[in-house]
Structure 1
Amino acid sequence: MSQSAQSLASVRFDADADAKLSALRWTKFVAAAALAVCVLVFAVAKSFETTYPWLGFVAAFAEAATIGGLADWYAVVALFRRPLGLPIPHTAIIPENQSRIADNLGRFIEVNFLAPEPVREKLAEVDFSALVADWLADAERAAGLSRFVVRLVPQTLAAVEQSGLRGFVTSRMLEQIEKVPLAPLAAELLSALTDDRRHQKLFDEFTKVIGRFLNDEQALATMREKIREELPSLFNLFRADAYLLKKIVASAGSLLDEVRADPDHPMRAEFDRFARAFIEKLRTSKQYAKRAEKLKRDFLARPEVKGLAGDMWASLSQFIEQDAKAPESIIRSHLANMFVEVGRHLAGDAQIRADMNQGFVVALASFVESQKSGVSKFIADQVKRWDLAQLTRLIEMNIGRDLQYIRFNGMIIGGLAGVVLYVAERLFLVG
Structure 2
Amino acid sequence: MPGSPLTVPLAGSLDDPARARDLQKMKRLATGLFGVAAVVFLVCVLLGEETGAWVGYVRATAEASMVGALADWFAVTALFRHPMRLPIPHTAIIPRKKDQIGASLGTFVQENFLTPAVVEQRIAHVDVPGRIGAFLAAPGRAERLAGDAGAALGAVADLIADDDVQPAVAAFVDRKLRETPAAPALARVIELAIDGDRHQEVLSAGLMGLSRFLSENRVVFRARLGDASPAWVPDWVDDRVFDRVFDLLQRFLAEVGEDPRHELRRSYDQRLRAYVHALRTDPATAARVEHFKEEVLDHPAVRHWSGSLWGTVKASVVTAAADPDSELRARLVALIRRGAKLLEEDPTVRELVQRQSQRIAGYVVERFAGDVAELVGSTVARWDTEETSRRIELQVGRDLQWIRVNGTVVGGLAGLVIYTVAQLLG
Q: TM-score range by the shorter chain?
A: 0.7 to 0.9
Say if 2:356 is the partner of 1:354. Answer: no
CA 1:248–1:30: 2 relative to 1, 3 Å? same
Q: CA deviation at 1:41?
A: 7.0
Further displaced range: 344-353 or 6-15: 6-15
Match of 1:24 in 2: 26
Query: Cα offset for 1:275?
Result: 2.2
Letter in 2 for 1:264: R
Conservation of the 8 A alpha-carbon contact between 2:65 and 2:409: yes
C-alpha change, 1:167 and 1:333, in structure 2 (3 Å) is same
CA-CA distance at 1:11 after TM superposition: 7.4
Task: Supply the distance in 1 between the matched residues of 2:269 and 2:329 (Cα, whole angstroms).
Answer: 49
TM-score (normalised: structure 1): 0.75
Deviation at 1:186, TM superposition (A): 1.0
For 1:189, give the aligned amino acid. Answer: V
In the alignment, what sits opposite 1:265? 262
Q: 1:23-42 to 2 correspondence within 5 Å?
A: 23-36=25-38, 39-40=41-42
Q: Deviations over 1:62-101 (max 9, x none)?
A: 4444433333333233333444444433233333433433
Shift in Å at residue 211 of structure 1?
Answer: 3.5
Change in 2 beyond 3 A, CA 1:398/1:42 = farther
Q: Distance in 2 between matches of 1:331 and 1:9?
A: 42
Residue 137 of structure 1 corresponds to 141
Counterpart of 1:406 in structure 2 is 403
- Contiguous gaps of at least 5 residues in structure 2: 344-348
> 1:71, 1:365 → 2: CA distance?
44
Q: SS of the counterpart of 2:254?
A: helix
User: What whole-Å deviation, never above 9, does each CA across 1:45-74 have from its counterpart, x for those lacking one?
Assistant: 86137x54x665555544444433333333
8 Å CA contact retained: 2:225, 2:238: no
SS class of match (2:260): coil
Whole-angstrom CA distance in 2 between matches of 1:415 and 1:45: 19
Q: 1:204-235, CA deviations, whole angstroms, 9 ceiling, x for partnerless residues?
A: 23433553566523324545777879xxx9xx
Partners of 1:74 and 1:410 lie apart in 2 by 11
> Does the residue aligned with 2:265 lie in a helix, a strand or coil?
helix
Q: Could you tell me how far apart the structure 2 residues matched to 1:315 and 1:395 are?
A: 60
Q: Is 1:295 equivalent to 2:292 in the alignment?
A: yes
Alignment CA distance shift 1:362-1:332 (3 Å) = farther
Contact 1:120 1:365 in 2 (8 A): no
- Counterpart residue number, 1:369: 369
- Which is worse superposed, 108-117 or 283-292? 108-117
State the Cα distance separating 1:289 from its structure 2 match.
0.8
Unaligned runs of 5+ in 1: none
Distance in 2 (CA, whole Å) between partners of 1:15 and 1:70 is: 27
| Paired AA for residue 88 in structure 1 | I
CA drift of 1:288 comes to 0.8
1:306 to 281, 303, 306: 303
Report percent identity of matched pairs: 28
Q: Does 2:393 match 1:396?
A: yes
Q: Please report how far the alpha carbon of residue 370 of structure 1 lies from its aligned counterpart in structure 2 after TM superposition.
A: 6.1
Cα displacement (A) at 1:139: 4.2
TM value normalised by structure 2? 0.76
The alpha-carbon distance between structure 1 residues 304 and 359, as it changes in their structure 2 partners (threshold 3 A), is: farther
Encode CA deviations 1:5-56: one digit per residue, 9 max, x unaligned: 795598783251353134223322332134325524753786137x54x665
Which amino acid letter does the alignment assign opposite residue 354 of structure 1?
A: V
Relative to structure 2, which stretch is displaced further, 297-306 or 64-73?
Answer: 64-73
Per-residue CA shift, 1:96-140, capped at 9, x if unaligned?
Answer: 433433433343344434444445566775746754665972646
Name 1:256's counterpart in structure 2: 253
Q: Aligned partners of 2:214 and 2:83: how far apart in 1? A: 122
Is 299-308 or 63-72 further displaced after alignment?
63-72
Q: 1:219 aligns with which of 218, 221, 226?
A: 221
| 2:81–2:91 contact (8 Å) kept in structure 1 | yes
Q: Which amino acid in the other structure matches residue 201 of structure 2? A: K
What corresponds to 2:180 in structure 1?
180
Of the structure 1 ranges 341-350 and 410-419, higher mean CA displacement relative to structure 2 is found in: 410-419
CA distance in 2: counterparts of 1:262 and 1:364, whole angstroms: 70
- Tell me the number of residue pairs that the alignment of Structure 1 and Structure 2 aligns: 410
Instruction: Give the structure with higher Rg (CA).
Output: 1
